[in-house]
Amino acid sequence: MTKLLDRLVVKKTYALSGDLAAFASPLAVVPPREETSGMLLGTDDLGRPVFLNPSSLPNMHGIIVGTTGSGKSTLARHLILEARDLGVSSWVIDPHGERSYARLYSRVLLLGADRINVLDTPGWKSSEFSSELARYIERVYGISGARFVLREILLKCLNRGSLSPLENLSEVPEVKRIYDDLAQIHEDSAPSVEELAASSICFTFPQMSSREFRSLAALLLLMLLQGYRRTLGESHRFEHMVVLEEAHYLAPYLLHLYQQTRKWGYSVIAVTQLPRELDPRLYQLAGFVVALSGPESYVNDISLLFSLTRDERDHILYKPRGAALLVRQGDPRPRKLFLKLRREAFPEA
């Protein structure tokens, strides 16, 4: 009886939900602002269109990450088409030789059969280019301790405008591998980077070419473009885009490239299925990252990189193609994304 009386006299306080609004963070109830122009990606979980707007990002360097079959290359082709509508030219560096990329381009170069001039290096001092190239060749070919010797040999090649200094030392097996690969890429009369940068091109490789050859060729293309864009001066206009497949092979160079804070009017979009193979700093430096769906081990890696909530994890965990998370530099919250890609971007189109 006493307990019943106590319950009857206890005062209860009620509040309308609106009364509590003053105590909640505005970020908890106000949807984040979305861009209204740029390159369309799809819709968010509120049904709003989601765009990548080059003019509002600190840089347009990006990363597309996802497991095999998740649609990384399809998304990359979609971005190529979206950029083309904005008047932006593009290169794709595709080690797999996918027809789905090649059919988007009127100009396709098969490096190893087609050649470029790698000794014409606008925007670089010869000593600077030889030093950088030697540093990455040492990594690519796994010849530890050879950087300084390689730098001097490459400097002679640049100063003479010929690969003969390298050829003269080709009795050394390690040097011969490098010379043979460079000789398949370079030709004095071949197009310079200035000519190549004036058009959209799909660069691909022979099916039996080595990983070292493909990495060296991709590295040279990126370094040549980097120097050439510097000769044009700083630009906040988005004018050229490079899609780099199997980007994890060039992770050290990409870190150096992404660390450049100034805009040179171009972007490199790294496509990889191995999130752990990229330096974590790359994800912080990129203007944007799109993480596609995948299994638990993959989602765990993405979660560590971006401190995902349970809801964000669930959005890409074992989901069908089309579910993704978008992270933009300067915005701490990943966007849950449903991709809406152009028909021409799909392999079967």
pLDDT at residue 260 in the model: 83
| Whole-structure pTM value | 0.88
pLDDT at residue 18 in the model: 42
Q: Which amino acid does the sequence have at 254? A: L
Surface-to-core class of residue 257, CB atoms within 10 Å of its CB (0-12 exposed, 13-18 middle, 19+ buried): buried
Confidence of residue 2 (pLDDT cuts 50, 70, 90): low
pLDDT at residue 177 in the model: 96
pLDDT at residue 31 in the model: 52
Q: Which of 24-38, 106-120, 199-213 has the lowest mean pLDDT?
A: 24-38
The domains found in the chain, sorted by start residue, are: 39-110+199-345 (3.40.50.300), 123-191 (no CATH)
pLDDT at residue 29 in the model: 44
Percent of the chain with pLDDT over 70: 89
Whether 11 shows a pLDDT value over 60: the answer reads: no
Distance (Å, whole) CA 213 – CA 219: 10
- pLDDT tens for 44-84 read 999 999 999 988 888 999 999 999 999 999 999 999 999 99
Cα 218 versus chain centre, distance: 13
Whether 34 shows a pLDDT value over 90: the answer reads: no
Confidence of residue 236 (pLDDT cuts 50, 70, 90): confident
Q: Taking the chain, what is the end-to-end CA distance rounded to the nearest angstrom?
A: 78
Distance (Å, whole) CA 332 – CA 329: 8
Mean pLDDT for 213-238 is 95
Surface-to-core class of residue 91, CB atoms within 10 Å of its CB (0-12 exposed, 13-18 middle, 19+ buried): buried
For residue 203, what are the β-bridge partners? 93, 109
Mean pLDDT for 168-184 is 95
Crossing angle between the packed helical segments 126-141 and 147-160, to the nearest 10 degrees: 130
pLDDT at residue 33 in the model: 66
Confidence of residue 20 (pLDDT cuts 50, 70, 90): very low
pLDDT at residue 37 in the model: 85
Q: Which of 25-34, 44-53, 174-183 has the lowest mean pLDDT?
A: 25-34
Whether 22 shows a pLDDT value over 70: the answer reads: no
- pLDDT tens for 277-311 read 999 999 999 999 999 999 999 999 999 999 999 99
Q: Tell me the three state secondary structure of residue 66.
A: coil
Surface-to-core class of residue 20, CB atoms within 10 Å of its CB (0-12 exposed, 13-18 middle, 19+ buried): exposed
Whether 4 shows a pLDDT value over 80: the answer reads: no
Confidence of residue 332 (pLDDT cuts 50, 70, 90): confident
Dihedral of CA 221/285/275/291: which sign? negative
Q: What is the mean pLDDT of the chain?
A: 90
Mean pLDDT for 154-162 is 97
Whether 121 shows a pLDDT value over 70: the answer reads: yes
Surface-to-core class of residue 307, CB atoms within 10 Å of its CB (0-12 exposed, 13-18 middle, 19+ buried): exposed
pLDDT at residue 55 in the model: 87
Whether 126 shows a pLDDT value over 70: the answer reads: yes
Sequence-ordered list of residues with C-beta below 8 angstroms from that of 198, at least 6 positions apart, any chain: 89
pLDDT at residue 16 in the model: 43
